Each structure stands twice: as C-alpha cells, then as structure tokens.
C-alpha cells in the first residue's frame, strides 16, 4: 500500500508534522512519500492508496496567496525578529499553495484521504482550522475521508508545542487503523464499539477540542 503526504508550510512546522505523520504510516509497512504541495503532481497521486493533506491555518482557514506572501515578506520576518521570534522560512514556502493545488486537482480514481493543519493553541473558535477546509476540498474531489481532520499546535513563538511531533506520528499510525475500519465498512464513531482486532483498534481516539490523544 502507498501513501502520499502533501504539505504546505511557511516556517517548517507543517513540514515537520507531515514528516512525522509519514513515519507513523511507514511503521505499518506502507510505502510513504512526503512532498510539498507543488510536487504533488497527478502522476504521484495516481499511485497513492491514501492521500494525507495538511497546511497552516491563516486567518481562520486555509492560506491565501495574500496571506502566504505576507508570511514570508521581509517586513514580517523583521517584525517577528524584533519580538525575539527568529523564523526560518521553509524552502518550499514560496511555492504553490493548497488552494491553487485543489483548483487544479485531477484525481484519476477515488482515493482514501485525511486532512490536518497547524494552528495556534487557542480554542478552534478563535483560531479557525485549515484542516476543515482541506477536508471539504478532499470530499468535493471525491475522496473518501478515513478520519476526522486533525490540528497540531504551535506556540506564541511559532514553534511546535512539545509533544506534537510524537502526537503526529501517533496520528499517522491511527490513519492506518482508519483505513482498516473503512475497509471493513465501519465509520469512525462506530469503531470503538466494534471491538476490532488489536491491530486495528480505534478506541484510544478522544475528540477534545479537535485534538487526537495517542494511547497511554
């Protein structure tokens, strides 16, 4: 089985989360590619059994051309540096964004999918969640979503909160379980009650503020 993890990243946080999700998927024996959005061409998508798509939350949702430009503008970086926030722009930050990618998306066959984002650690009502928009776009393009969209949190210094990298890897492993559940004809809320075999357990999923808690 093959998975493709597609990310849009400004300062490297979403990139890091994507890599950890890929590691979680790889732990189940899947072949995994982790690529920036501009490299997620039709040929790559055509080979994938699962597509996982994520990006940063900008102004309550998915980034726009304007918000992406502002994020990497020299005056923005200087202003953040003056606050003590030394931001390192991701190598692919100035490439294509997810909105444009979705506009040109051409899936040759239905595919399983999941969405994630990075956002500040406040209530989703205040920050918004890009993953919700990404999830809607995936469904619009005919994808079969296997788990609810997920958020990974950055702090006020725009760094991933401690433990989020590990949580991303755990979520990657949970995606494998979501695929198994989907193959069995189950839906996410039903899995805990279904008592599937231990390799496909989903009863450690806790929805609290849109966050996935890995098994303790």
Residue 74 lies in a domain: yes
Q: Residue 199's pLDDT is what?
A: 34
Residue 66 lies in a domain: yes
Give the residue numbers spanning the domain of 43.
2-200
Residue 30 lies in a domain: yes
Give the domain CATH number at 192: 3.40.50.360
Residue 136 lies in a domain: yes
The CA-atom distances, in angstroms, between 100 and each of 41, 43, 65 are: 12, 17, 9
Residue 207 lies in a domain: no
Residue 210 has pLDDT above 60, yes or no: no
Residue 215 lies in a domain: no
Residue 60 lies in a domain: yes
Residue 207 has pLDDT above 60, yes or no: no
Residue 47 lies in a domain: yes
The total number of structural domains in the chain stands at 1
The 8 Å CB, 24+ separation contacts for 127-130 are 127/57, 127/60, 128/57, 128/59, 128/60, 128/61, 129/57, 129/61, 129/210, 130/54, 130/55, 130/56, 130/57, 130/58, 130/61, 130/62, 130/63, 130/98
Give percent of the chain above pLDDT 90: 66
Q: Residue 132's pLDDT is what?
A: 96
Q: What is the pLDDT of residues 38-89, one digit of tens each?
A: 999 988 999 999 999 999 999 999 999 999 999 999 999 998 899 888 889 9
Q: What is the pLDDT of residues 155-192, one digit of tens each?
A: 988 999 999 999 999 999 999 989 988 877 766 555 44
């Amino acid at each position: 089985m093959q998975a493709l993890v597609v990310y849009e990243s400004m300062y490297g946080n979403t990139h890091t989360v994507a890599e950890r999700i890929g590691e979680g998927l790889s732990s189940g024996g899947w072949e995994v590619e982790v690529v920036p959005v501009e490299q997620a061409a039709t040929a790559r998508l055509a080979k994938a059994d699962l597509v996982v798509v994520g990006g940063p939350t900008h102004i309550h949702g998915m980034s726009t051309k304007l918000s992406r430009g502002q994020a990497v503008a020299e005056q923005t970086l200087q202003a953040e540096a003056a606050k003590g926030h030394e931001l390192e722009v991701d190598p692919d930050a100035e490439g294509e964004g997810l909105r444009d990618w979705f506009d040109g998306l051409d899936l040759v066959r239905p595919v399983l999918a999941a969405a994630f984002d990075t956002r500040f650690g406040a209530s989703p009502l205040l920050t918004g969640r890009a993953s919700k928009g990404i999830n809607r776009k995936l469904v619009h393009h005919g994808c079969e979503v296997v788990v609810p969209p997920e958020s990974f949190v950055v702090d006020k210094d725009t760094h991933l909160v401690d433990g989020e990298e590990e949580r991303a890897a755990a979520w990657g492993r949970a995606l494998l379980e979501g695929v198994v559940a989907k193959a069995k004809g189950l839906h996410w809320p039903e899995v805990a009650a279904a008592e599937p075999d231990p390799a496909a357990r989903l009863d450690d999923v806790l929805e609290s503020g849109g966050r996935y808690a890995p098994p303790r």
